[in-house]
């Protein structure tokens, strides 16, 4: 433990380091910027930059980079040396305030969803001083936002920061009504990251894994996850070594990696950090994902972060635990006293309303080609968004909704406050693992995000929709004589109006999907079904109202979502076609030839022999080869059609309806052949080999 404490955050230019290294006036000015979101003065920036550089160089850094998150969602970096050659032939190390505050990457190769075409070709990055700079691989990384010169956000971080502002402003107003004067409210996130670890030697023999992150072929293994022995099971030595190194590297970077364990599927694991402020939590999650990949390679392993690397066993998700807090209080903590309970009820109700009104946006936030394999596949929440509150809280909500008519609002409220809430048992809340959005004691756990996703989108949306409900609340109680009464009436009316979104049963059943339909809840099955809702007038208006996206920015994200989807399926389709032609077809033929030779050899050796089994196998191989040829042709045709389709939505639809469907059929016939071709003759490692190693 001593060592952890000593090494924790040593590679981060954090508050402690700043206090130590910055002149006190500079430290104060910077703290103000960080705490209140004030712009940073260039004079201050110069001093900070110098101290940062000295510190970074002392820790072995030679370069710096603005570390940002373009619309691809993956972090980007361009390294610049601190080097400054002098006239006399020597060189010094420099880093200016200007270089700290703003950078200018060549923006033209990042997806912009048409923003750049409409506006200005260049983009710039701007330091997000609320997320500390850190050193990674001898490079000082400065977390930044990325915008076009006309101010449009070209990244994932800018809208997230805007949404945090929006929800802070509304929450402060609500708290003001409760008599609390709070300058800032923050949203917090704890991201549980699932991933697979497989052996490098297997990975390298699977072009599908290398090019697409998932297996496009593969018969089910003889043993899957049915024995349920992997979840929380003892961690194998190689994996353990990997996890230890990962923890240590993360701790140095100030990422509070806390929990690690084996997950449900063989070779699947999870890492959960301690929660922190949303933008930092997301930076940390991206950093974690990157370190997982690089550290795995030092152990002869490959870390797969795709949502569904293997068919037939669980895929990987990324639970987004979310709450909202002042600097000393979690506003989603039910608490014990009636007064603070009313406040809790208001925040809870705001979330209920937000999730119901904007189911579509939450669904869109997690929609991707990879995640489409999980949602609704009986291993992850369904594609229908609903909320789980747990028995205790549900009782409270039901009591509020059905509150007997003869009782005054006050009486119901007092009953609830005194009798029900104090008996609230936090641990009873979280035993429904099938819900997409579950209240877990003092936070909500959004379980739909996929393992590969950048959580900025989900949190941008969560923050914005909750801001909207909090604003609705403020408007509803505005000018009321009796605030508490008005607040409680809003809670009751709002819960009543939105109770359809609350579902405490098993989300994996078909009955629920039927029931959800009756309730009028959306069931957006795929990315292609979900994406068009981004352009619904109510959603455009919402983002505009809170200054999170203007219409151009919103449209850009819609374009990028469809474009990315189409590109990914195109790569998958092409990889599949290529592998079928170059590996599977030759393997099936060669094996058929081998069997034919065997038949002939047997007959030659003894003409009376009847090689029935061999003949049957040969027939199967021959039929299989024919089926493969047929399905392959269909896949190629579907790919051609999709590639030739112009309109972005239509194109994505062709990829979904025709290319994916053809891929599924081709896979089926290829996997059948895998089942009968000898291990030696099969051209790639199978699930049995990949998923079970020591």
Please tell me whether residue 330 binds ligand ADP under the rule CB under 6 A: yes
Please tell me whether residue 260 binds Mg ion under the rule CB under 5 A: no
Binding mask 169-208 for Mg ion (x = CB under 5 A): -----------------------x----------------
Stretch that binds ligand ADP, among 92-100, 182-190, 218-226, 246-254 (CB under 6 A): 182-190
We find the least distance from the C-beta atom of residue 254 to ligand ADP, in angstroms, to be 15
Which residue, 252 or 319, is less far from Mg ion as judged by CB?
Answer: 319
631 Cβ contact list (under 8 Å, min separation 6): 662, 665, 666, 669
Task: Tell me how many residues contact Mg ion (CB under 5 A).
Answer: 2
152 binds, among Mg ion, ligand ADP, none (CB under 5 to 8 A by kind): none
Long-range contacts of 208-213 (CB under 8 A, 24+ apart): 208/572, 208/575, 208/576, 208/579, 209/302, 209/304, 209/309, 211/571, 211/575, 212/306, 212/568, 212/571, 212/572, 212/575, 213/304, 213/305, 213/306, 213/309, 213/370, 213/452
CB atoms within 10 A of CB 609: 13
Site for ligand ADP in 606-665 (CB under 6 A): none
541 binds, among Mg ion, ligand ADP, none (CB under 5 to 8 A by kind): none
Give the residue from 563, 543, 562 showing the smallest Cα distance to 553.
Answer: 543
- Whole-angstrom Cα distance, residue 48 to residue 267? 45
Choose which of 123, 129, 143, 273 interacts with ligand ADP (CB under 6 A). 273
- Asked if residues 681 and 588 have their Cβ atoms less than 8 Å apart, the reply is no
Stretch that binds ligand ADP, among 112-120, 189-197, 236-244, 492-500 (CB under 6 A): 189-197
442 binds, among Mg ion, ligand ADP, none (CB under 5 to 8 A by kind): ligand ADP
- Strands 63-67 vs 139-148: parallel, antiparallel or unpaired: parallel
Please tell me whether residue 259 binds ligand ADP under the rule CB under 6 A: yes
The first and second tokens of residue 489, run together, are 């009436």
DSSP letter at 535 equals G
Report the residue number whose CB is nearest to ligand ADP. 190
We find the least distance from the C-beta atom of residue 379 to Mg ion, in angstroms, to be 14
Helical (H) or strand (E) element with 277: strand 276-277
Please tell me whether residue 274 binds ligand ADP under the rule CB under 6 A: yes
Look at residue 147 and give its three-state secondary structure.
Answer: strand
We find the least distance from the C-beta atom of residue 5 to Mg ion, in angstroms, to be 27
We find the least distance from the C-beta atom of residue 133 to ligand ADP, in angstroms, to be 23
Site for Mg ion in 298-327 (CB under 5 A): 319
Which residue, 119 or 231, is less far from Mg ion as judged by CB?
Answer: 231
Helical (H) or strand (E) element with 196: strand 186-199
Q: Return the bridge partners of 139, or none.
A: 63, 136
We find the least distance from the C-beta atom of residue 440 to Mg ion, in angstroms, to be 8
Please tell me whether residue 275 binds ligand ADP under the rule CB under 6 A: yes
459 Cβ contact list (under 8 Å, min separation 6): 160, 163, 187, 189, 278, 282, 320, 322
DSSP letter at 182 equals -
We find the least distance from the C-beta atom of residue 332 to Mg ion, in angstroms, to be 16
Task: Tell me how many residues contact ligand ADP (CB under 6 A).
Answer: 18
CA torsion angle 499 502 507 512 (round to 10): -10
We find the least distance from the C-beta atom of residue 160 to ligand ADP, in angstroms, to be 15
Phi-psi region of 33 (alpha: psi -120 to 50; beta: other; left: phi over 0): alpha
We find the least distance from the C-beta atom of residue 550 to Mg ion, in angstroms, to be 35
Site for Mg ion in 117-146 (CB under 5 A): none
Look at residue 193 and give its three-state secondary structure.
Answer: strand
Give the residue from 277, 273, 293, 303 showing the smallest Cα distance to 285.
Answer: 273
Choose which of 279, 323, 432, 451 interacts with ligand ADP (CB under 6 A). 323
Which residue, 230 or 443, is less far from ligand ADP as judged by CB?
Answer: 443
Site for ligand ADP in 425-484 (CB under 6 A): 430, 442-443, 445
Q: Interior CA angle at 166 toward 184 and 273, to 5°?
A: 70
We find the least distance from the C-beta atom of residue 443 to ligand ADP, in angstroms, to be 4
83 binds, among Mg ion, ligand ADP, none (CB under 5 to 8 A by kind): none
We find the least distance from the C-beta atom of residue 445 to Mg ion, in angstroms, to be 5
Which residue, 359 or 459, is less far from ligand ADP as judged by CB?
Answer: 459
Q: Footprint of ligand ADP on this chain (CB under 6 A)?
A: 188-190, 192, 259, 272-275, 319, 321-323, 330, 430, 442-443, 445
Residues making contact with Mg ion (CB under 5 A): 192, 319
């Amino acid at each position: 433990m001593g060592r952890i404490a000593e090494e924790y955050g040593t590679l981060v230019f954090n508050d402690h380091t700043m206090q130590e290294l910055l002149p006190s006036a500079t430290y104060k000015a910077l703290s103000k910027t960080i705490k209140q979101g004030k712009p940073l003065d260039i004079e201050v920036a110069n001093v900070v930059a110098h101290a940062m550089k000295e510190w970074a160089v002392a820790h072995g850094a030679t370069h710096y980079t603005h570390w940002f998150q373009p619309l691809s969602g993956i972090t980007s970096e361009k390294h610049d040396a601190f080097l400054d050659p002098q006239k006399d032939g020597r060189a010094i190390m420099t880093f200016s305030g200007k270089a700290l505050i703003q950078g200018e990457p060549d923006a033209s190769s990042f997806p912009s969803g048409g923003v750049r075409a409409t506006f200005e070709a260049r983009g710039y990055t701007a330091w997000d001083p609320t997320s500390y700079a850190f050193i990674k691989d001898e490079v000082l990384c400065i977390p930044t936002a990325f915008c076009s010169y006309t101010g449009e956000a070209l990244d994932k971080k800018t809208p997230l920061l805007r949404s945090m502002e929006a929800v802070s402003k509304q929450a402060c107003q609500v708290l003001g009504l409760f008599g609390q004067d709070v300058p800032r409210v923050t949203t917090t996130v704890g991201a549980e990251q699932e991933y697979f670890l497989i052996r490098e030697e297997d990975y390298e023999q699977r072009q599908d894994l290398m090019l697409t992150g998932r297996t496009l072929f593969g018969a089910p293994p003889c043993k899957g996850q049915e024995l349920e022995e992997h979840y929380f099971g003892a961690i194998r030595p190689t994996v353990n070594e990997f996890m230890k190194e990962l923890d240590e590297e993360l701790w140095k970077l100030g990422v509070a990696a806390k929990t690690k364990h084996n997950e449900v599927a063989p070779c699947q694991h999870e890492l959960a950090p301690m929660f922190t402020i949303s933008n930092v939590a997301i930076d940390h999650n991206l950093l974690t994902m990157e370190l997982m990949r690089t550290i795995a390679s030092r152990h002869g392993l490959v870390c797969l972060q795709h949502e569904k690397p293997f068919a037939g066993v669980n895929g990987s998700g990324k639970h987004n635990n979310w709450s909202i807090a002042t600097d000393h209080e979690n506003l989603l903590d039910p608490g014990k006293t009636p007064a603070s309970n009313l406040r809790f009820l208001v925040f809870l109700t705001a979330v209920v309303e937000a999730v119901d009104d904007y189911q579509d946006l939450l669904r869109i936030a997690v929609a991707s080609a990879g995640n489409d394999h999980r949602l609704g596949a009986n291993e992850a929440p369904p594609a229908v968004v609903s909320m789980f509150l747990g028995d205790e809280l549900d009782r409270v909500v039901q009591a509020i909704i059905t509150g007997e008519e003869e009782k005054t609002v006050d009486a119901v409220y007092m009953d609830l406050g005194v009798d029900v809430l104090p008996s609230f048992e936090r641990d009873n809340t979280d035993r429904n693992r099938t819900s997409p959005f579950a209240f877990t004691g003092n936070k909500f756990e959004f379980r739909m995000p996929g393992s590969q996703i950048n959580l900025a989108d989900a949190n941008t949306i969560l923050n914005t929709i909750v801001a909207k409900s909090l604003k609705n609340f403020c408007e509803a109680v505005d000018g009321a004589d009796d605030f508490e009464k008005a607040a409680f009436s809003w809670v009751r009316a709002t819960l009543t109006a939105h109770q359809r979104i609350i579902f405490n049963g098993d989300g994996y059943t078909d009955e629920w999907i039927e029931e959800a339909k009756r309730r009028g809840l959306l069931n957006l099955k795929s990315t292609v079904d979900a994406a068009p809702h981004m352009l619904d007038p109510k959603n455009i208006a919402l983002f505009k109202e809170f200054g999170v996206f203007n219409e151009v920015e919103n449209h850009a994200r819609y374009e990028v979502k469809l474009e990315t989807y189409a590109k990914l399926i195109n790569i998958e389709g092409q990889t599949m076609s290529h592998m079928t032609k170059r590996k599977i077809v030759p393997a099936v033929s060669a094996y058929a030839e081998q069997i034919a030779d065997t038949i002939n050899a047997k007959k030659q050796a003894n003409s009376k022999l009847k090689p029935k089994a061999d003949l049957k196998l040969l027939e199967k191989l021959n039929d299989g080869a024919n089926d493969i040829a047929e399905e392959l042709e269909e896949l190629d045709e579907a790919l051609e059609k999709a590639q030739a389709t112009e309109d972005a939505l239509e194109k994505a639809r062709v990829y979904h309806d025709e290319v994916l469907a053809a891929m599924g059929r081709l896979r089926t016939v290829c996997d059948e052949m895998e089942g009968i071709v000898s291990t030696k003759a099969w051209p790639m490692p199978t699930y049995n080999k990949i998923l079970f190693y020591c």
